[in-house]
Amino acid sequence: MKVKAAAKINLMLDILKKLDNGYHSLFMIMQSVDLYDTVSVEKNNEKKIIIKCDTDGVPCNEKNIAYKCAVAFFDALSITDRGITIGIEKAIPMAAGTAGGSTDGAAVLYCLDKIYNTNLSIKELCEIGAKVGADIPFSLVGGTAIALGTGTIIAPVKDLPECYIVLCKPEQDVSTPEAYAEFDSLNRVRHLDRISMVDAVADGDYEKICKLCGNVFEQAVEVPKRPHIKGVMRKCGADACVMSGSGPTVYGIFSNKENAEDAYNKLSKKYDNVYLCKPAKHGITEV
Ligand code: ATP
């Protein structure tokens, strides 16, 4: 079985508090974009989980998020026949804040439910995925959604109005745990206007959404190239420029295709990982 697994950006990411268990309570507005990894899953006779990936740096072992999701699925359903081969073709940049690993994990959960005829609901799959990572439930649902708690509460909202989204990942890897540690050490946090954002996404109000987009990780995670990337995007007419997740990817939202192409072309001259995307309506799609 083969699926496309979408990347995400955070239209808003606010961190409410650190919980006693070490996790953080989050308020996020999530948006899938049409940048996809391709994930295949098939049964094998080796009696073990095998990972094959076309990209250097992705762990092809039990550290892979796709592997962890497969184990979580088998454990949750007490399945002992665990011989599967997972193939991952990466298009989503790694350690970028765009849920590259999480979406591969979500894809594996989706495929295993079909292959093993377990007929789980999306809610049940999300519960299994949430044990592995905070972005996995959203990656299963996709589209535009509010995500709360540790990412486990997902409320889909109106699709983002048609627009163009340019992603630019500077040459820097950000570790998510380190980003949280930086955030926890801040003396003062400027929180975001979450209530107005709920209104804006409920109405699908493009202008208001763009005005309210934000990410508190920008106060904690240093990305030296961020001002330059944002400057180029703004000059090209971006309606919003914000970092996604714990970074370092910066996205720009454009209502106009030519302006988005202009930003894409200018940034591509300076950076290797630049993508011109559109909002996607689904997280996982069969191919
Ligand atoms: P998120 O937005 O969910 O925090 P991210 O874009 O910041 O995701 P990932 O691309 O998921 O980060 O990668 C983080 C690390 O996880 C990588 O450095 C890599 O070693 C490891 N990893 C494990 N599984 C995968 C996978 N399937 N694809 C990419 N990286 C993976």
The secondary structure element, H or E, covering residue 48 is none
Q: What pLDDT does residue 71 have? A: 98
Q: Are residues 125 and 7 in the same domain?
A: yes
Strand segments, DSSP code E, in the chain are 2-18, 24-43, 49-53, 84-89, 144-149, 153-156, 164-169, 214-215, 240-243, 250-254, 273-277, 284-286
Cα separation, 29 vs 246, in Å, equals 14
Q: How many domains does the chain have?
A: 2
**Residue 195 contacts by C-beta under 8 Å, 6 or more apart in sequence?**
none
Q: Are residues 149 and 174 in the same domain?
A: no
Q: Are residues 125 and 255 in the same domain?
A: no
The reply to whether 181 falls in a domain is yes
Q: Which residue has the tokens 């309606």?
A: 239
Residue 169's φ and ψ, nearest 5 degrees, are -105, 110
Token pair recorded at residue 50: 């095998």
Q: Say whether 8 is catalytic.
A: yes
**What CATH number should be reported for the domain holding residue 262?**
3.30.70.890
**Amino acid type, 163:** C
For the four alpha carbons of 58, 62, 67 and 68, in that order, the dihedral sign comes to negative
The reply to whether 205 falls in a domain is yes
**Residue 187 contacts by C-beta under 8 Å, 6 or more apart in sequence?**
none
Cβ neighbours of 115 (radius 10 Å) = 14
- Per-block average pLDDT, block size 10, for the chain (287 residues)? 98 97 95 98 97 97 98 98 97 96 98 98 96 95 97 95 98 93 97 98 97 98 98 98 98 98 98 98 98
Residue 287 alpha carbon to ligand 1 centre in Å: 23
The active-site residue, picked from 14, 37, 135, 262, is: 135
Residue 200 alpha carbon to ligand 1 centre in Å: 30
Q: What pLDDT does residue 173 have? A: 85
Q: Are residues 102 and 232 in the same domain?
A: no
The secondary structure element, H or E, covering residue 69 is helix 65-76
**Amino acid type, 15:** I
3-state secondary structure of 266: helix
Q: Say whether 81 is catalytic.
A: no
**Amino acid type, 51:** I
Question: What angle is formed at CA 10 by the lines to CA 205 and CA 218, rounded to 5 degrees?
Answer: 115
Q: What pLDDT does residue 182 have? A: 97
The reply to whether 127 falls in a domain is yes
Cα separation, 91 vs 107, in Å, equals 14
Q: Are residues 98 and 171 in the same domain?
A: no
**Residue 56 contacts by C-beta under 8 Å, 6 or more apart in sequence?**
none
The reply to whether 283 falls in a domain is no
Q: Are residues 79 and 174 in the same domain?
A: no
Question: What angle is formed at CA 267 by the lines to CA 31 and CA 170, rounded to 5 degrees?
Answer: 70
Domain boundary among 107, 142, 157: 157
Q: Are residues 17 and 67 in the same domain?
A: yes
Q: Show the domain range for 139.
A: 2-157
Task: Kindly give the residue spans of alpha helices, DSSP state H, lying in 142-283.
Answer: 176-184, 194-203, 206-212, 226-235, 257-270
Its pTM stands at 0.97
Q: Which residues approach ligand 1 with their CB closer than 6 A?
A: 58-59, 63-66, 88, 94-102, 104, 135, 176, 245-246
Residue 93 alpha carbon to ligand 1 centre in Å: 9
The closest residue, in CA terms, to atom 20 on ligand 1 is 58
Residue 97 alpha carbon to ligand 1 centre in Å: 8
> Quick one: angle between helices 100-115 and 65-76, nearest 10?
40
3-state secondary structure of 280: coil
Q: What pLDDT does residue 104 have? A: 98
Q: What pLDDT does residue 132 have? A: 95
The closest residue, in CA terms, to atom 26 on ligand 1 is 101
Domain boundary among 107, 135, 157: 157
Q: Which of 116, 171, 176, 109 is nearest to 138 (CA)?
A: 109
